[in-house]
């Protein structure tokens, strides 16, 4: 019988060194979060299905594991933490003083193709910052991400920072139907120039606007990119987004971190809930992003409270694939003790905090 001999696709089991590596990684990152005064939240593993639909939007709904309880409620296993935390902040923590800083660590489940060392059940660890001042809290979460990479001993990490407002400000004025905006986003997300040309031919836009759209996939780089983008847009939403990105970039420059930051104005992927900056972090020679996050001011209002929010999460399963000193897990050193008559000796060593191994 299959159930007794095979594992279901999408699950994985961590044993020994792999499990130790998971815990070490978790501890290092938690200590960084705690060092910036974030408090742990342990949310439930399931909640009402609608909670996650509110958060993630209707695109990824087919990835959600859902089930029906005995009263007929539709529930879901958490596919992410952000919606759960947003709901908690807007309800249980409604009267707690702002800003609220929370971190979480645990498994999430998504029915998707396992890839990049990530199964359908995978581990996320991340932070949520609620009710802060936009500018400052954006910088705060980015600096926390940087510190976590540094503590893990990752030398070549790259944070790719964009803003939904830059693109948003541009398309706001074009008054395109939602379907065409979706198509445009899909094309820009893969920087598909020829696809963009084909689409532009069908759009009722003037030459100047088409030029702006053509430029978007190339607007990736350092400070110069922000200047280049300024020549293209005049609408307040896009301009404000550029001011903000420049502010963040300056701070990274000031602390000698600019080499880890890439401004990417073509970066517009992600869940529907993002409202301001959004970012993804990559490490050299790992093909998939290891962290992602951004600002989602609208999300808490879905649960009854209008509150600015920003956060990000690391994918532990992906980080574990990196080889850094912090993660090279030696086998534990234990004193071998003959099990016959050895308990006294073993207890003595244990009192001194030493590891023992009874030999039978």
Partner 1 sequence: MLVIALCKGRYLEPSLSMLSRANIRFPDYVEYGAADVGVAGRDVIMESRADLLQPLDLNFGHCRIAVAGPEGAHSINGSDHPTVRVATKYPRITLDYYNTRGIPVEIIALSGSIELAPLIGLADRIVDLVETGRTLKENGLEIVEIIAESSARLLVNRAGYQTKREEVLGMIHALEKVVQCESSI
Does the footprint of partner 1 cover residue 220 (CB under 8 A)? yes
Single out the residue of 86, 67, 64 nearest to residue 301, CA to CA: 86
Of 113 and 173, the one with the shorter C-beta distance to partner 1 is 113
Backbone φ and ψ for 94, nearest 5 degrees, come out as -55, -35
x-marked contacts with partner 1 along 31-70 as a string, rule CB under 8 A: ----------------------------------------
Does the footprint of partner 1 cover residue 228 (CB under 8 A)? no
Compute the distance between CA of residue 88 and CA of residue 307 in angstroms, rounded to an integer.
13
Q: Least distance from C-beta 197 to partner 1, angstroms?
A: 9
Please report, for residues 159, 189, 245, 314, 316, the alpha-carbon distance to residue 279 in angstroms, rounded to integers and kept in the order given.
7, 13, 11, 12, 17
Q: Which of 207, 256, 285, 344 binds partner 1 (CB under 8 A)?
A: 285
Instruction: Give Cα 350 to chain centroid, integer Å.
Output: 40
Q: Which of 286, 329, 356, 358 binds partner 1 (CB under 8 A)?
A: 286
Does the footprint of partner 1 cover residue 282 (CB under 8 A)? yes
- Region from 44-52, 175-183, 215-223, 227-235 binding partner 1, contact rule CB under 8 A: 215-223
Does the footprint of partner 1 cover residue 217 (CB under 8 A)? yes
- Cis peptide before 99, with omega less than 30 degrees from 0? yes
Phi-psi domain of 52 (left: phi exceeds 0; alpha: psi -120 through 50; beta: other): alpha
Q: Cβ distance 283 to 237 under 8 Å?
A: no
Upper half-sphere CA count for residue 40 (Cβ side, 13 Å)? 11
Name residue 162's beta-bridge partners: 278
In 286-335, alpha helices (H)? 299-302, 316-319
- Region from 236-244, 285-293, 323-331, 338-346 binding partner 1, contact rule CB under 8 A: 285-293
Does the footprint of partner 1 cover residue 237 (CB under 8 A)? no
Q: Which of 66, 191, 209, 214 binds partner 1 (CB under 8 A)?
A: 191
Q: Least distance from C-beta 141 to partner 1, angstroms?
A: 19
- Region from 4-12, 31-39, 155-163, 308-316 binding partner 1, contact rule CB under 8 A: 155-163
x-marked contacts with partner 1 along 109-128 as a string, rule CB under 8 A: ------xx------------
Q: In what order do the strands lie in the sheet with 309-315?
A: 39-40, 100-109, 121-130, 309-315, 291-295, 277-283, 157-163, 261-264, 220-221
Q: Which of 45, 74, 96, 156 binds partner 1 (CB under 8 A)?
A: 156
- Region from 3-11, 56-64, 94-102, 275-283 binding partner 1, contact rule CB under 8 A: 275-283
Q: Which of 23, 92, 284, 357 binds partner 1 (CB under 8 A)?
A: 284
Does the footprint of partner 1 cover residue 193 (CB under 8 A)? yes
Compute the distance between CA of residue 66 and CA of residue 75 in angstroms, rounded to an integer.
6
Interface residues for partner 1 in 158-177 (CB under 8 A)?
A: 158, 160
DSSP 236-291: HHHHHHHHHHHHHHHHHHHTT-GGGEEEETT---S-TT--SEEEEEEETT-SS-SE
Of 100 and 159, the one with the shorter C-beta distance to partner 1 is 159
Q: Least distance from C-beta 194 to partner 1, angstroms?
A: 4
x-marked contacts with partner 1 along 245-274 as a string, rule CB under 8 A: -----------------x-x----------
Q: Cβ distance 127 to 144 under 8 Å?
A: yes
Of 40 and 197, the one with the shorter C-beta distance to partner 1 is 197
Does the footprint of partner 1 cover residue 221 (CB under 8 A)? yes
Q: In the complex, which residues of this chain contact partner 1 (CB under 8 A)?
A: 115-116, 156, 158, 160, 190-195, 217, 220-221, 262, 264, 280, 282-289
């Amino acid at each position: 019988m299959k159930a007794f001999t095979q594992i279901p696709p999408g699950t994985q089991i961590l044993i020994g060194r792999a499990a130790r590596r998971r815990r070490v990684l978790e501890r290092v990152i938690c200590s960084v979060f705690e060092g910036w005064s974030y408090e742990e939240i342990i949310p439930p593993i399931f909640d009402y299905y609608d909670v996650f639909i509110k958060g993630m939007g209707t695109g990824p709904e087919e990835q959600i594991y859902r089930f029906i309880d005995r009263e007929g409620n539709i529930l879901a296993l958490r596919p992410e933490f952000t919606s759960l935390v947003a709901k908690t902040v807007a309800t249980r923590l409604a009267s707690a003083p702002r800003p609220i800083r929370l971190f979480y660590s645990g498994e999430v489940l998504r029915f998707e193709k396992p890839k990049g060392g990530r199964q359908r059940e995978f581990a996320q660890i991340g932070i949520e910052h609620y009710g802060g001042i936009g500018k400052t809290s954006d910088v705060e979460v980015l600096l926390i991400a940087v510190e976590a990479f540094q503590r893990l001993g990752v030398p070549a990490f790259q944070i790719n920072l964009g803003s939904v407002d830059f693109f948003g400000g541009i398309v706001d004025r074009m008054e395109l139907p939602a379907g065409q905006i979706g198509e445009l986003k899909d094309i820009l997300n893969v920087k598909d120039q020829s696809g963009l040309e084909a689409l532009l031919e069908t759009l009722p836009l003037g030459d100047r606007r088409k030029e702006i759209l053509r430029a978007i996939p190339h607007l990736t780089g350092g400070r110069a990119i922000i200047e280049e983008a300024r020549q293209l847009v005049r609408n307040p939403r896009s301009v404000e987004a550029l001011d903000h990105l420049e502010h963040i970039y300056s701070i990274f420059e000031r602390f000698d971190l600019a080499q880890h930051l890439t401004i990417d104005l073509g970066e517009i992927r992600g869940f529907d809930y993002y409202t301001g900056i959004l970012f993804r972090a990559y490490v050299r020679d790992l093909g998939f992003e290891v962290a992602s996050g951004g600002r989602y001011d609208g999300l808490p209002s879905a649960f009854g409270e209008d509150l600015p929010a920003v956060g990000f999460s690391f994918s532990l399963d992906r980080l574990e694939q990196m080889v850094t000193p912090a993660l090279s897990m030696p086998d534990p050193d234990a004193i071998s003790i003959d099990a016959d008559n050895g308990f006294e000796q073993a207890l003595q060593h244990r009192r001194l905090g030493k590891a023992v191994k009874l030999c039978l």
